[in-house]
């Protein structure tokens, strides 16, 4: 884990002299200078002005447990067992799975300032720069195995759009199965991973990544159209602690009730948010391609693809818009 102890001091966006930083940390000016260079590597631009010192222009809001907890609805506090706000981790999903293996269970939440090996769907990497976005994983346990989780990832997509709407952001849309889109560009994604017995007691890690204020340099590694909440909001992104709290206010009750409700009560809401409703699409599944018209999802969360052979339920793959003939 990189030593980034300068960040809390510079988080206020004000100038701090090299001397003050060195004194506060009890290290030499050279050690401060080295750490400042490391911040640049983390994607946090540091401005240096002779005679005034160093600052992170605009400051940076770090994750803070008290602030997150203050934003939680009271019934949600009862569902939250453990809140782990980490600095740097390979992947919050991987960390949650390790903690599950070590005995943690339902109600564990891991979030981090930065992921060094963030996981996306279909083996992709998830670009995860320091202190600018949200990387969050929530663990829940079910007795009914993988079958009881059908449609859960789609319901999570709906819950995330609600969480962001509660922060006053303009409405987002969903792309099957659970990409979050704004004006056709991806603002977030969901990755579920499972542990335990696929036909009995199992633990699911619900991983959510949301671009909040993606630094353009980091975004160069993204291979699809993307956006972030700062853009969605028209300038100022909501605070990351508020986003985490709002996500937990939606996700914890969803996770706790899903074994009882299943996807059925979420289906209409998913359909209302469907960015590809009635669109001509191509389904990509491994090497295979299939053209059709996207007709929303069925009660299990499968994409209903209308082909020349009729309506087919699709359980895996990825869709893209079909170019007009």
Q: Known catalytic residues?
A: 121, 186, 322
Closer residue to ligand BTN, CB minimum distance, 32 or 250: 250
DSSP 30-42: HHHHHHHHHHHHT
The span from the CA of 297 to the CA of 307, in Å, is 15
Nearer CB in complex with ligand BTN: 4/137 = 137
User: What residue ranges in the chain does DSSP mark as E strands?
Assistant: 47-49, 53-55, 82-89, 108-115, 134-142, 173-175, 179-182, 185-196, 202-210, 280-285, 288-297, 303-307, 310-314, 318-321
Residue 233: closest CA among 157, 164, 134, 162: 164
**Residue with tokens 């030499």, as numbered in its chain:** 28
Closest CB to ligand BTN belongs to which residue?
A: 189
Beta carbon of residue 147, minimum distance to ligand BTN (angstroms, whole number): 22
Contact 80, 219 (CB under 8 A): no
Q: Is 8 in a helix, a strand, or coil?
A: helix
Q: Which is nearer to ligand BTN, 16 or 119 (CB)?
A: 119
- For ligand BTN, give the closer residue by CB, 21 or 242: 242
Binding site for ligand BTN (CB under 6 A): 91-93, 115, 118-121, 124, 126, 135-137, 179, 189-191, 207-209
Question: b/e map of 149-166 (b: 16 or more CB within 10 Å)?
Answer: bbbbbbbbbbbbbbbbee
**Closest CB to ligand BTN among 136 and 242?**
136
E strand intervals along 70-168: 82-89, 108-115, 134-142
Question: Residue 269 CB, nearest distance to ligand BTN (Å)?
Answer: 19
Question: At closest approach, how far in Å is the CB of 146 from ligand BTN?
Answer: 19
Alpha-carbon span 232 to 66, nearest angstrom: 27
Long-range contacts from 6-9, C-beta under 8 angstroms, 24+ separation = 6/32, 6/35, 6/36, 6/39, 7/39, 7/44, 7/56, 7/60, 7/62, 7/131, 8/62
Pick 10 or 294: Cβ nearer ligand BTN: 294
């Amino acid at each position: 884990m990189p030593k980034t102890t300068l960040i809390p001091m510079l988080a206020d966006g004000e100038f701090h002299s090299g001397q003050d930083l060195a004194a506060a940390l009890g290290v030499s000016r050279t050690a401060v200078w080295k750490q400042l260079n490391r911040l640049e590597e983390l994607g946090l631009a540091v401005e240096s002005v002779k005679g005034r010192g160093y600052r992170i222009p605009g400051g940076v809001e770090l994750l803070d447990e008290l602030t997150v907890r203050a934003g939680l609805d009271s019934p949600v506090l009862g569902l939250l067992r453990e809140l782990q706000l980490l600095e740097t981790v390979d992947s919050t999903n991987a960390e949650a799975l390790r903690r599950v293996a070590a005995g943690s269970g339902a109600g564990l939440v891991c979030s981090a300032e930065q992921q060094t090996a963030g996981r996306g769907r279909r083996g992709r990497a998830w670009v995860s720069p320091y202190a600018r976005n949200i990387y969050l994983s929530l663990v829940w346990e079910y007795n009914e195995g993988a079958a009881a989780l059908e449609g859960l990832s789609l319901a999570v997509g709906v819950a995330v759009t609600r969480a962001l709407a509660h922060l006053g952001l303009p409405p987002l849309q969903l792309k099957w199965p659970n990409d979050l889109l704004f004006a056709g560009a991806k603002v977030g994604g969901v990755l579920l991973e499972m542990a335990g017995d696929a036909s009995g007691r199992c633990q699911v890690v619900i991983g959510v990544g949301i671009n909040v204020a993606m630094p353009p340099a980091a975004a160069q590694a993204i291979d699809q159209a993307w956006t972030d909440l700062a853009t969605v909001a028209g300038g100022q992104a909501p605070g990351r602690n508020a986003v985490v709290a709002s996500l937990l206010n939606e996700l914890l009750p969803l996770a706790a009730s899903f074994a009882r409700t299943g996807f059925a009560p979420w289906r209409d809401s998913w359909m209302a948010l469907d960015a590809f409703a009635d669109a001509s699409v191509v389904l990509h599944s491994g090497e295979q391609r299939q053209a059709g018209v996207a007709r929303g999802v069925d009660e299990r969360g499968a994409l209903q693809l209308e082909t020349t052979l009729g309506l087919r339920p699709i359980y895996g793959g990825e869709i893209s818009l079909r170019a007009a003939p």
